[in-house]
Structure 1
């Protein structure tokens, strides 16, 4: 997705926990054209968790015929986007010529590198009838040595993502390694992204990485005596064992990985160098980025 303003960091309701719980982030909903978006990262209190620098929960939304996701071409640099849907579909196009329908369970990884442009729309047959959309969109900051790499696009159908049961809990390892399995999805830094679906009373030991957090997409959890409500993200310290317990049926996303140097972020641009963001803004304003084949007529202007 494209960000609607230059300033990305959100004011969120945050509270400091105890022991292994460093922080609980509760977002403020933003309503964008008939559906809600909850932004968890970045916030003023917490910019990144491992390489993850952006975390949006979109929907669930129900659109009438003729309405839906319609994000015009927009640029990115020095990051990789990850799109994951619970329900519905999105039609991805980019300046490499990629044309891909994203469906529930798929992992869509777009590496911006030195610069890419993409759009997120819907197929006409989807838009023509009432339809639903629900999912997550995340951004990864690329390691400094990969920031100016060639842009690339990778798509992993749902069937390629490892699924297993951990002490009765269904788990999918979307990126990185956890619970004895490794995802085929390409990574650049040490990266963790796991989904789990717990029933009330289920427990799950949290994988240990240098930085880690859990987002409660639905339901509620208990961790180290701290209740984590629906739509909150809890950030944990590394080292100590953390056992998550579902207070109610819960769908969660676990993210984390190695700690990275600070990044600058403005609009859709992320970089370790502020000067690079200024260059990207000037290039987009001057229309020096490549166009999206099949979607050349429109674009999102740089916010002033």
Structure 2
């Protein structure tokens, strides 16, 4: 039933840490999910420097999915979006042939507060890798939810448990947020060929084994999976139909290495538009010289 257990690897992003789960050497993708980062939890003090922000950077060939348990992030992108995301909401950004965006902690800078959430990347099908870039925001009230006994569930994206989210996905997939009270049992059906569960908080038991925060369980196909919450737990369920091999370099995802090289050249040459509502700073391609310091940062 459990094919693989992946422990999050802690990575310092310069102001806070994330737990990097996917890609993993023995499992590059789960369904279309090609990247999975657990952000925080981190408690920001008021007045955090702008160096903590994620400055404008590019993507191709994927959709980014930001989902928070607490806190707020300000998103700006090159298609003109400016949208804060708060706990229980979804920011779904489709890069397609190319988009740039920034993620800034403006509310935390002004007021302080906790940041805790997940950022995932979902690969696009080959025939849609060069689609037009787009951005969609969904409030928590727009997303299907379910509550029974000690289980609370929200369908973040895709289709699962007889429900379909309004988030515009591009291939068969599911992404679900579970909150389980201690002692609660819940089942993940065998509807998709590739499935995984990430324990964000607490502890659960699956197949007679206990798993705690920071662990992703990847399941074999064809069998339902029963979870029991050993203590109060937050679990993210994810997966879908496989899309085939994808190459990842920096923030670029593609079925073609040549396309990634083109994206690198475009970013280096300044051919990818920066967000209109940002201040012109950007993250250089790894290995390239850093741009001049912004005197306002």
Q: TM-score range by the shorter chain?
A: over 0.9
Q: Which residue is 2:87 aligned to?
A: 104
Q: Structure 1 residue 145 and structure 2 residue 145: aligned?
A: no
Which one of the candidate residues 10, 27, 44 is aligned to 2:8?
27
Which one of the candidate residues 34, 39, 46 is aligned to 1:65?
46
Q: Which residue is 2:139 aligned to?
A: 157
* Aligned partners of 1:166 and 1:204 also within 8 Å: no
Q: Secondary structure at the match of 1:281?
A: helix
Task: Give 1:168 shift.
Answer: 4.1
Q: Which residue is 1:252 aligned to?
A: 235
Cα distance in 1 for partners of 2:66, 2:264 equals 24
Moved more, 83-92 or 61-70: 61-70
Which one of the candidate residues 206, 212, 215 is aligned to 1:229?
212
Task: Give 1:127 shift.
Answer: 1.3
Which one of the candidate residues 10, 23, 26 is aligned to 1:42?
23
Query: Deviation per CA, 1:102-145, whole angstroms, max 9, x where unpaired?
Result: 0111010000000000011133x541222221111000000001
Cα distance in 2 for partners of 1:243, 1:253 equals 14
Q: Secondary structure at the match of 1:185?
A: coil
Which one of the candidate residues 188, 199, 203 is aligned to 1:206?
188
Cα distance in 1 for partners of 2:101, 2:206 equals 39
TM (normalized to structure 1)?
0.91
Q: Which residue is 1:7 aligned to?
A: none
Task: Give 1:28 shift.
Answer: 2.1
Which one of the candidate residues 81, 85, 88 is aligned to 2:71?
88
Superposition misfits of 4+ residues, deviation over 6 angstroms? none
Superposition RMSD in Å: 1.3
Which one of the candidate residues 101, 105, 111 is aligned to 1:129?
111
Moved more, 159-168 or 35-44: 159-168
Q: Which residue is 1:195 aligned to?
A: 177
Task: Give 1:231 shift.
Answer: 1.0
Cα distance in 1 for partners of 2:194, 2:123 equals 14
Q: Secondary structure at the match of 2:111?
A: coil
Q: Secondary structure at the match of 2:79?
A: coil
Query: Deviation per CA, 1:200-235, whole angstroms, max 9, x where unpaired?
Result: 211111132110000000011111122222210000
Moved more, 47-56 or 25-34: 25-34
Task: Give 1:176 shift.
Answer: 1.6
State how many pairs are aligned: 284
TM (normalized to structure 2)?
0.93
Q: Secondary structure at the match of 2:76?
A: strand
Cα distance in 2 for partners of 1:303, 1:34 equals 19
* Aligned partners of 2:150 and 2:181 also within 8 Å: no
Cα distance in 1 for partners of 2:274, 2:181 equals 46
